[in-house]
Every structure is written in structure tokens, then in C-alpha cells.
Amino acid sequence: MDERTIPQLQDKISSGEMTAVDITQMYLERIERIDQHGPSLNAIIELNPDAISIARAMDVERKKGQVRGPLHGIPILIKDNIDTHDRMTTTAGSLALEGSIAPRDAFLVERLRQVGAIILGKTNLSEWANFRSTHSSSGWSSRGGQTKNPYAIDRSPCGSSSGSGAATAANLCAAAIGTETDGSIICPAQTNGIVGIKPTLGLISRSGIIPIAHSQDTAGPMARTVTGAAILLGALTGIDPRDPETRFSRGKALSDYTPFLEIGGLKGARIGVARNCFGDDLRVTKIIENCLSLMKQAGAELIDPANLDNEEKFTKSELAVLHYEFKADLNTYLKTANSEGQVHSLQEIIAFNEAHKEHVMPYFGQERMLAAQKKGPLTSKGYLNALAKNHRLTREEGIDAVLEKYKLDAIVCPSGGPAWLIDLINGDHYQGCGTSSPAVAGYPCITVPAGYIFGLPIGITFMASAWQEPTLIRLAYAFEQATAIRRPPQLLPTADLMQ
């Protein structure tokens, strides 16, 4: 298993031991061997036919002394709800958008190309970023089929950034991009034993990303190490006129987060423990207790408990906001998407799904879409009240209140439970912990490997207030370096009950 980090890959290229073409070919061969054949993770929905030629161009630039940065010549996978104006399609995993070529790159793709990254391909996902059915199977899409967990092939990779998580864990790329509305970076990152950063809303532009809800949607990096995630995060930031939310990142966003990779970053940190986000799995609690002890040994001061008491109070209002915004935002996206004339609105997608239900809905339906279609405009009082309630409960009366009350640098809780068996009949058996508050608030969080249950990864989440990515990276990196918990997956057919 090739676990080389982005800096290690750069060292190989700089020394002349490998080229960008060599590295790209290495990942393509690995994808062929274990994603499309062998264990068949099914994490990749489409490969970039121009990947090798792009790598060759990056090698030519390097020979001329032109190195664009730490991602120059590094292969990155992106989720198939992110637009690329090339020979790849953008479909959100849906047959309704099959063949759709975006009219231009998403802003974050433009940024990746500018820094010399190689877009290796697109990853499978939970169809429509898991906003189609109330009992979907994470990682399944009508276009891409079922993505699997590389730690146990019969287990879920979680979602919706399922392919990005599984591919990164299984070393099918140097790192990947996922997107999150609520848990869709954090859950697949923790379930696949990698690092995921869900950034502050507006730090990364959403233009060119098939949406769910503009008040919560964001893209973010997924990597095997905090270092890789920090490098990738810096490459993605920037103010984009097509996404007004990014204007709030002026003076707050950075193009380089690596200065915050501090070995001693936990020393003197005040960290709150959100006990009410632990769930009821005592095995998970034991793992997190061990992590807390290690943080103390590294010099952190723990305030325990420091609960997020509002965690259960905005469930209904969050869903209401998502329904309203999904209809409005998706309709706006589809007006400009080149979808080969198939669908131009949510209503047309619903009709397409019904007309092709044998292939699109063989296991679960489209209850979320039907509920969203019934919603009125974003001027509706019900929407505005729900949005205001969400922000109040998760921001000034939620995360900010806890941080201020206990004078904290961050709050920690489990990222979730062990991966469940893939169940196309009944859907997911998700054991979520603590993703909703930062997701609804639009605040950053990061998950890092924390331990294993029968060989299945468990992560720990660090969260804080808006624009606190530097603090979270510092804490997460120090924790990662002090614990060195991650171990690569072995592509087992099922969980090892002897571990």
C-alpha cells in the first residue's frame, strides 16, 4: 500500500526519482487493479482521459524551473457534483444528467488547475449528494452504482462524499475534494479512516457545484494526513464574484495553512468536550476517552463537559431550510448546466426519475425531492423563520456560546460510529455525532483518525467558530502526530472480528 504524502511525492519528483507522469500512471494502475477489478471499491465514476497529458505538461514546466506550488504535478480526485469544462461529465451520480458537460470549470477546479494539480478523475457519491431519499444507501448512485469501504468491502463508506473518502483511504489519489451540507465530508472521512476538513461557509467558492443548500453547502479537502488536507485547503480558497459568500473571507482566508502544522500545537490549548454528542456506543466512548487522555499528556487543558445543548433543537428547521433551498438552488444551477436537454428543473428531474425508475430508483425513492418541490420561494415566512432559528441555535446560542462560556479554543466529540453493513433494502444505519451544529452554523470542523472497532475506523472531530481553520489545523496536526493512529486499509471482504 503506497501511503506517500503530498510532500513525499514532491520530494520524489524534485529528486528526479519520479515524474508527474510516473505518479499519475501509478494511481491509474492502482485504480484499474483495485477499484475497477479485484475488490472493486467502485469509488471512481469517471477517469480524466487527459490526465497523462496534463501530467506531461506539468513535467515540462518543472524542467523549465516553473513550479507552481506544492500541488504541482500531484493527482487529485474530485467529487462528481463539481463542474469541469473538459472531457469529463458532471452528473451528481444521476442518470438524469448523464452526458452533461459543464459550460465552465467550478471556481475550485480553476484554482486547482492554476496551482498545477492534475484532475485525475471524478468520484462516485450518494446520488444528488444524498438528498433524494429518506432511506438511501450512502455511496450508491444510479450512474455509478455502490461504492464500498476499503476497510471491509461489505461495509458502507458513508456519504455523500463516499468515493472521495474511499479512494483517498485506498491510495487511489494523493488527496480528494468532497462536499458537505451536513456530514458529507466528516462522515466519509472518519468512516474511511482519513482526515477531512469542512471549512467555514464562504472560505471555498461553491460556484460550479451542484447544490443542495447555499446556507450550508461547502467543498473541502479529504486526505490521509492533516498535512495533505492543509495543503489542499490553501489551494482552494479565493474570492469568487460568482459566489457572493466568498467576499466574507477577505482578510480571513489564507493560501497557505501549513505554518499551522505545529507538533506542540496542543500545549496550552483549552478544549471543550461535548459529552452530549458522544452517542450511546460505549466502544466509541472508550476510544474518545483514550484520545482525551493523550491530549492531556500533550499539554491540553480539557473542560469536560462543555456540551452543545441545542444539538437536538433544530432538526426540523434544518430540514425545512434544506428543502426550500434545494428547490431554489438546483433550479438555478440547472438553468446554466449543459444537461443535453434532459432536465432543466427539479420538477423535470422528478419526472425523469419516475419515467426511468427501474434504473434510477430500484432500491429507494425520491421523497426528499418531492418534499422540496412542494416548497415555496425563499421569500416565504416559513423559510426565513427556520433559517433565523437555525443560525441562532447553532451560532450565538450554540458553538459561540460554548466557546465563550468556557474560553475554549475548540470543542471535540466523536465523528461517528463504525461503518455499517451496506443495506440497499433499508438504507443507512448512520450513527452520527456532532456534525450538525457546525454544518448549520457554517462553521469549520476537522476529523482525524482516533481508533478502530474490529478494524473499522473511528474519528474525532475538532470544531470552532468561523474562520478558525488555523486553530483547528494546529490542534488536529498535534493530535495526529502524537497518536499516529491511522493505518491503511487491507481491502478485507468483511470486518476482522479478531481485531
Q: Where are the domains of the chain?
A: 6-266+416-483
Judge whether 469 and 203 are in contact, CB under 8 Å: yes
Q: What is the topology classification, in CATH, of domain 6-266+416-483?
A: Amidase signature (AS) enzymes (3.90.1300)
Q: What is the largest CA-CA distance in the chain?
A: 62
Instruction: Locate 119 and state its grid cell.
Output: 484532475
Model confidence at 430, pLDDT cuts 50, 70, 90, reads confident
For the record, the C-alpha cell of 476 comes out as: 488536529
Percent of the chain's residues with pLDDT above 90: 95
Query: Is the pLDDT score of 387 beyond 70?
Result: yes
- Phi then psi for residue 381, to 5 deg, are -60, -40
Q: Work out the average pLDDT over 127-138.
A: 97
pTM of the prediction? 0.98
* 3 state SS for 246-309: HHHHCCCCCCCCHHHCCCCCCCCCEEEECHHHCCCCHHHHHHHHHHHHHHHHCCCEEECCCCCC
Choose, from 138, 184, 207, 415, the residue flagged as catalytic: 184
Which of 216, 218, 173 lies closest to 194 in space, CA to CA?
173
420 versus 496: the higher-pLDDT residue is: 420
Cell of 20: 508527474
Q: Which amino acid is present at 40? A: S
Does the annotation count 160 as an active-site position?
yes
pLDDT digits (tens, 9 = 90+) for 219-275: 999 999 999 999 999 999 999 999 999 999 999 999 999 999 999 999 999 999 999
By percentage, how much of the chain surpasses pLDDT 70?
A: 99
pLDDT (tens digit per residue) in 135-181: 999 999 999 999 999 999 999 999 999 999 999 999 999 999 999 99
Average pLDDT over residues 203-212: 98
**What was the pLDDT predicted at 438?**
98
Q: Are 82 and 109 in contact (CB under 8 A)?
A: yes
pLDDT at position 340: 64
**Degrees to nearest 5, angle at CA 348 with 346 and 354:** 105
Q: Cell 518543472 maps to which residue?
A: 62
pLDDT at 434: 78
Residue 1 has pLDDT above 80, yes or no: no
Looking at residue 191, its pLDDT comes to: 98
Instruction: Indicate which residue of 133, 136, 160, 465 is catalytic.
Output: 160
- What length does the chain have? 499
How confident is the prediction for the chain on average, in pLDDT? 97
User: Which tens digits make up the pLDDT trace of 435-473?
Assistant: 899 999 999 999 999 999 999 999 999 999 999 999 999
Burial class (CB in 10 A: 0-12, 13-18, 19+), 303: middle
Q: Which of 79, 198, 327, 389 is catalytic?
A: 79
The three-class DSSP label of residue 35 is helix
Find the DSSP H helices in 279-399.
282-297, 315-336, 346-355, 357-360, 367-373, 381-394
pLDDT band at 2 (very low <50, low <70, confident <90, very high): confident
- Locate cell 524551473: which residue? 65
Question: Nine-digit cell at 335?
Answer: 438553468
- The answer to whether residue 184 is catalytic is yes
What amino acid is encoded at 154 in this protein?
D
Q: What distances in angstroms separate CA 179 from CA 58, 161, 329, 330, 472, one per listed residue?
A: 27, 6, 15, 15, 19
> Residue 480 above 60 pLDDT?
yes
Question: Which run of H or of E encompasses 108?
Answer: helix 107-114
User: Nearest Cα to 410, choosing from 274, 206, 255?
Assistant: 274
In angstroms, rounded to a whole number, what is the distance separating the alpha carbons of residues 4 and 14? 15
Segment 6-26 mean pLDDT:
97
Amino acid 341: pLDDT: 64
Taking only the tens place, the pLDDT of each residue in 62-92 is: 999 999 999 999 999 999 999 999 999 999 9
The pLDDT of residue 38 is 85
List pLDDT tens digits, range 318-365.
Answer: 999 999 999 999 999 999 886 666 899 999 999 999 999 999 999 999
